[in-house]
Chain A
């Protein structure tokens, strides 16, 4: 039989990955319930963030009457301690010998300070000696220069020339070794110069599943100074700037006395980064979890619903290259996840900011906040791709959703019930490391940096996708 072979009359555009992505996007967008879920999850997380912000505001209002710790919530810094100073103008040179130091632990500080004013956050430079960590020069929130390893007794010296302050130390008060020079912007003609002591709290962190309680017991240190000389500018009387730890000043344990050229200063509260202050941005961004869970479920369903109904066969008929289909699906669900995460994060932060009397939040354009916001998008995107790959491997909705959620959420919950070391390793190595991208403040319990953390999650997503591609080509549809 001779028959003229039939030829298709439909014109086709060139084969490209883009048209597969478009097809998968059409699939996603045309199931109304999926679009509703994504939108609802974003709105819900924004709503929740308002509650978080309002709730957190209430909780902190009774919490301690101490002065604000630092001006920038992204670099929590304790500007406390006991500072006994004289107001001096022009160039200043201040010298002392720290004779003895007792109490306050390894990081108790005794030494000299020059600062622009008594208010919190004023520019300063301080050289101190500690019982356990030698001589240290501190300035601002980030300068932390180590000197020699010695402890008291030792000679310390600060000289100010214009905006520059140079710190020196000496064993005998004759030959001086420079520790470092810092430039203090915004230093006026008048400065406060004098003796300084500080001691960090003894912090006890109690972690239980899902909660943590941080209690600080105020620690006191007492130092004796002799050979105190202050030169330069006009003289004023000794004034005290005392910002102790905790709400109340106890007169009998803090103090300043002078007797026969020996100055005794007692104080509490620390000078340095505050690793225990709350990460308010991260608290608000916790609500992105709602969008994350919803997106994980959708990502799994995006492929398992096709297996359940046999539609995956239609998909592979239309596009026989299975690997490209999975990559197109990953592109679509990753995009949906990124949008959901980003919108949840942005909406949550704006809602929290708008909440009257709520949480003190940093500037939204500060890099750590921008990174956390964009990172929330990447976090949800990577989680979605990870979940899609699991769905492709497992093929069953309930099991795949459970595995994806457990992998992402269990390390977080379990971590708070484990010793810090174990918890840190779990948070570094599990997919939950991705949540680190929402950190904006350095804290004592930081297991992994933001960039490294999100990279760990992305690696999980990539490896799972690799397995899914491998399996997809080998198994029957």
Chain B
């Protein structure tokens, strides 16, 4: 079985509202794929359809080439966390995992393994009703890992975690992907995915806005821009513009230059005797790249809003 999630032409409507509209994408193994979009963009609905919980109006969602309902021991094929707080408060965390293990014929020893893995050993015999949001998240991740599945799908896994927990889960997701698993994590904040996602699926209003590798996205957003810090701003602008570059002033002493490589800029500035204090390739943040990417969609939305 190929460790993938394949979504083809998925569409779902709730009453008059189209929640997901003709959505197609593939989640590849060996990397962490971020599923990003504002609240209400259709991320959770898409995930529920992949998991066979909601019935799509059109389209298919396959896990390793099969529909969810055809999986005989689904925990071994895909681990999912939708709502980490969906636990009976009177049941102990360990027992919550135990019934899941029983239902899929997994050994009880596996329950203790995943409890150790997510660091819940000391709390596993307490009723889940007393758990903090962060502990619920860890329990949810433990449940997703119970069957040691090749595909993982986590809805807002970073939500509610403290900084230490965020670092932990980033490391965990990276190592799970490095083992060859396909990992899909959703978030409504691009910044949460910074440093964990390799690939991005951006969704807005139920439609796919972008399907791109993070590295390409960042270099596209960064362009060939170079940041120059100098006290002789006017002179520097003049010589660089003469050399065919586009120069923009940002804050105080900084210029953002595009159209020339850093090496060429250094050569030109030293040749013309313009002093500068620093020169660096400009790196866009994922947030900036996301804003670039969704600007068109936002403008379209704003126009549509005026028209209606």
Contacts and interface: CB of A to CB of B under 8 A. Distances in A.
Given A6-B180, A20-B103, A30 B29 contact: no
A421 to B, nearest CB: 48
A455 to B, nearest CB: 32
B45 to A, nearest CB: 10
Contacts of A14: 105
Contacts of B180: 3-6
Interface in A20-71: 20, 22-24, 26-27, 30-34
A5 B2 contact: yes
Nearest to B92: A30
A1 B289 CA distance: 24
B74 A318 contact: yes
Contact of B87 (A32, A33, A309): A309
B87 A311 contact: yes
Interface centre among B3, B28, B99, B147 (most CB of A within 10 A): B99
B63 to A, nearest CB: 11
Interface string B98-119: 1110111111001000000000
Interface centre among A8, A9, A23, A474 (most CB of B within 10 A): A8
Nearest to B182: A6
A12 B73 contact: yes
A10 B106 contact: yes
Interface in A437-464: none
A30 B99 contact: yes
A3 B69 contact: no
Interface stretch (B76-84, B219-227, B278-286): B76-84
Given A305-B88, A310-B82, A317 B74 contact: yes
Contacts of A32: 90
Counting chain B residues whose Cβ lies within 8 A of the other chain, the interface size class is: 35 or more
Contacts of A13: 105
Contacts of B88: 27, 31, 305-306, 309, 311
B53 interface: yes
Given A321-B69, A476-B54, A477-B53, A5 B150 contact: yes
Interface string A283-314: 00000000000000000000001100111011
Interface string B177-219: 0011100000000000000000000000000000000000000
Counting chain A residues whose Cβ lies within 8 A of the other chain, the interface size class is: 35 or more
Nearest to A5: B3
Interface string A178-211: 0000000000000000000000000000000000
Contacts of B103: 19-20, 22-23, 318-319
B216 to A, nearest CB: 13
B302 interface: no
Contacts of A319: 74, 103-104
A30 B54 contact: no
Nearest to B68: A320
A15 B72 contact: yes
Contacts of A12: 73, 76, 104-106, 147
A30 B148 contact: no
Contacts of B68: 320
Contacts of A313: 48, 51, 53, 82-83, 86
A386 B28 CA distance: 46
A9 B106 CA distance: 11
A476 B47 CA distance: 13
B100 A318 contact: yes
A476 B48 contact: yes
B73 A31 contact: no
B83 A310 contact: yes
Nearest to A29: B95
B30 interface: yes
A1 B150 CA distance: 17
A320 B105 contact: no
Given A30-B92, A318-B75, A309 B30 contact: no
A320 B77 CA distance: 12
Contacts of B297: none
B71 interface: yes
Given A10-B146, A32-B90, 11 more contacts: A3-B180, A5-B150, A7-B1, A12-B147, A22-B102, A30-B96, A30-B98, A306-B88, A310-B82, A314-B100, A320-B74
8 A-B pairs with least C-beta separation = A3-B30, A23-B103, A30-B95, A310-B86, A13-B105, A6-B180, A6-B150, A26-B99
16 contacts: A6-B3, A6-B181, A10-B147, A20-B103, A24-B99, A30-B98, A31-B91, A306-B88, A313-B48, A313-B86, A314-B82, A314-B143, A317-B53, A320-B69, A474-B55, A476-B53
Interface of A: 1, 3-16, 19-20, 22-24, 26-27, 30-34, 305-306, 309-311, 313-314, 316-321, 474, 476-477
